[in-house]
Structure 1
Amino acid sequence: MDSHLNIIAGFKNGKSYVKDLYVSLPFRCVSVGQRKNDGKLYQMIMSSSPGILDGDHYHLKVSLEKGASLQLQSQSYQRLFNMKDKAVQELDIVLEDETSFAYVPHPVVPHEDSNFKSEAKIHIGKNSQIIISEIITCGRKHYGEVFKLKRFQNLTEIYHENKLIVKDNILIQPDLIPINSIGNLEQHTHQGTFIFFSTKDDVKRDELIDNIVEYAERYQGEMEIGVSAMENNGFIIRSLGNGGEIMYNFFLHVQEVLWNLN
């Protein structure tokens, strides 16, 4: 099924709002965070489908006009069902100047024989920032489906002034790359990636990283967490663990800290 979600966030009188929204089945997009008075826009992506099915092709487009701030939220864990062929997701994000966008979805659960590829292309303007993450689980562990997926790939590219600034490629293919090998997931069952990139001049990147590393110490024994600084104003968090909820809550905390910068 070809499915579409297009959302444009506008900015007027000091507040962000939904300027345009188009969805097709199985998507819905609803407002959340109505009690917040920060002038930012909060939307939740919902789906009437139990998960991503064989042959699905998701087209997601997000545009933020100058001054807008949009935080997207997910409804629940994203299941990737058994597939004979594959499923694809394309995410296109365009951030004009002085914008802020965040998307920290729930973990992905790949079922046995699932084959999924996600591509995200992000164009960011001046004095703007983006927060985007992903958590991939081993599958339905209690059903004995520990990394029995065929293939999972998530490719993320961030461009600024038509120049590629960030490229991140996650590939899990157990029959090609031993998942438990050294330098891979080893004995862990969950992997998380959190990307923060800003084109603002006043971002105290090193101070933010120090605070995140200090906060992460409380998860010793539950997760392995590392932070890599980018050449520019940004960083990537990698996490390994054995549970999706604790990793997801950690990412939500980091998102909240970064979201309140502007």
Structure 2
Amino acid sequence: MKGKPATAELRAYFHQSDDRTFLKGKYHTAPIKIAKSFQMDQELGIIVMDVSPGMLEGDNYSMEWFAGQNTSLYVTNQSFTKVHPCPNGGRAEMRQLFQLDQSAFVQYMPQPSMLYQDAEYMNTTVVRLAPGAVWMQAEVLCPGRTHLGERFKYRHYQSALSVYYQDEMIFNQRQRIVPSSQNLQEKGAWEEQTHWGTFYVFSDRINSSHVEAIREKLQSLPQTPKSEVLFGVTLTYRHGLVVTASAQAAWPLQETLECAFHFIRKTVFGKGMIN
């Protein structure tokens, strides 16, 4: 697929009034935009749309989210993030900033990412938290279009997540996958697993008791040979908890991470289910 590379921006500002969160202002350039915002029971829902067929070589997307004091947001997108082949040695890139004021509550729950054969993709996220703020994210990485025989045929995937609490960096995660030079299916690596998922929650209310509680919850989920999910749960250096999981399909990972998400919403923050 050929096309002119897109440099796209999206910025959104949110404020709280009368116990409800409102979209105060926004700016976007094609091909990304906020397709819809809608009031939910306990937060403002935001759906992001990419009107292109997917990210092409040279595409550079930047999204910035500014959550005012006491705001509550649930952000998702309409479909998979699809990264097309990059035949000329370039890459597609996504950069995001989440700026949370005091007691803001932001949940970023996108659809899975899928890199096509010969694709190269870099995804960088920076989160800045004020005291009392909460940021959660779940993400799933697919190995390619498996129905077309693509499995780890993309060229390069790289992700970076940095989290700051006030001015202190409390988390810094880097992941780099180069299938052509890494033995991903070897013992001690991914072995038979093909899909990777991660759930993050950062808040100054997270503590060690939540690790065992969420582990027990996930262990209670039903498992079948074709949908078995391997997972681990750990605390971060400060104010954070991470669930990492792998499987042979996207849907069992999504179910596992959504279970972790709703469990944390209920037990730590007293919030109900999102349908």
Q: TM-score, normalised by structure 1?
A: 0.92
Q: Counterparts of 1:190 and 1:86 in 2: how far apart (Å)?
A: 21
Cα offset for 1:70?
1.1
Partner SS for 2:102 = coil
C-alpha contact (below 8 Å) 2:13/2:23 kept by paired residues: yes
- Paired position in structure 1 for 2:204: 199
Matched, 1:75 2:78: yes
Cα offset for 1:112?
0.3
Deviations along 1:195-232, whole A, 9 cap, x unmatched?
Answer: 111023xx4x3443333222222244411011011243
- Paired position in structure 1 for 2:243: 237
* Counterpart residue type for residue 164 of structure 1: M
- Paired position in structure 2 for 1:55: 58
C-alpha contact (below 8 Å) 2:199/2:260 kept by paired residues: no
Aligned residues: 257
Pairing partner for 1:113 from 103, 107, 118: 118
Deviations along 1:117-152, whole A, 9 cap, x unmatched?
Answer: 011111111011110122111101121111000000
Matched, 1:216 2:212: no
C-alpha contact (below 8 Å) 1:102/1:259 kept by paired residues: no
- Paired position in structure 2 for 1:247: 253
Q: Counterparts of 2:70 and 2:51 in 1: how far apart (Å)?
A: 32
C-alpha contact (below 8 Å) 1:185/1:191 kept by paired residues: no
Name the stretch that deviates more: 208-217 or 90-99. Answer: 208-217
- Paired position in structure 2 for 1:19: 24
Q: Counterparts of 1:127 and 1:197 in 2: how far apart (Å)?
A: 10
Q: Counterparts of 2:20 and 2:58 in 1: how far apart (Å)?
A: 39
Cα offset for 1:176?
2.5
C-alpha contact (below 8 Å) 1:59/1:90 kept by paired residues: yes
* Counterpart residue type for residue 237 of structure 1: V
C-alpha contact (below 8 Å) 1:102/1:255 kept by paired residues: no
Pairing partner for 2:158 from 153, 166, 172: 153
Matched, 1:43 2:46: yes
C-alpha contact (below 8 Å) 1:104/1:251 kept by paired residues: no
C-alpha contact (below 8 Å) 2:140/2:197 kept by paired residues: yes
C-alpha contact (below 8 Å) 1:60/1:90 kept by paired residues: yes
* Counterpart residue type for residue 27 of structure 2: Y
Partner SS for 1:209 = helix
Deviations along 1:87-121, whole A, 9 cap, x unmatched?
Answer: 11110111111111111211111100000001111
Deviations along 1:24-81, whole A, 9 cap, x unmatched?
Answer: 11123134554x332x211011111121111100001011111111110121111111
Partner SS for 2:212 = helix
Q: Counterparts of 2:247 and 2:236 in 1: how far apart (Å)?
A: 24
Q: Counterparts of 1:81 and 1:47 in 2: how far apart (Å)?
A: 14
Query: Structure 2: which 5+ residue stretches go unaligned?
Result: 1-5, 271-275
Q: Counterparts of 1:136 and 1:250 in 2: how far apart (Å)?
A: 14
Matched, 1:142 2:147: yes
Let me know the Cα RMSD of the aligned residues. Answer: 1.6
Q: Counterparts of 1:2 and 1:227 in 2: how far apart (Å)?
A: 37
C-alpha contact (below 8 Å) 2:218/2:260 kept by paired residues: no
Name the stretch that deviates more: 21-30 or 85-94. Answer: 21-30
- Paired position in structure 2 for 1:186: 191
Partner SS for 1:251 = helix
* Counterpart residue type for residue 9 of structure 2: H
Q: Counterparts of 1:219 and 1:110 in 2: how far apart (Å)?
A: 29
Partner SS for 2:34 = strand
Name the stretch that deviates more: 242-251 or 178-187. Answer: 178-187
Query: Structure 1: which 5+ residue stretches go unaligned?
Result: none
C-alpha contact (below 8 Å) 2:170/2:237 kept by paired residues: no
Q: Counterparts of 1:110 and 1:231 in 2: how far apart (Å)?
A: 31
* Counterpart residue type for residue 77 of structure 2: S
Cα offset for 1:183?
3.2
Calculate percent identity across the aligned residue pairs: 21
Partner SS for 1:225 = strand
Q: TM-score, normalised by structure 2?
A: 0.88
- Paired position in structure 1 for 2:10: 5
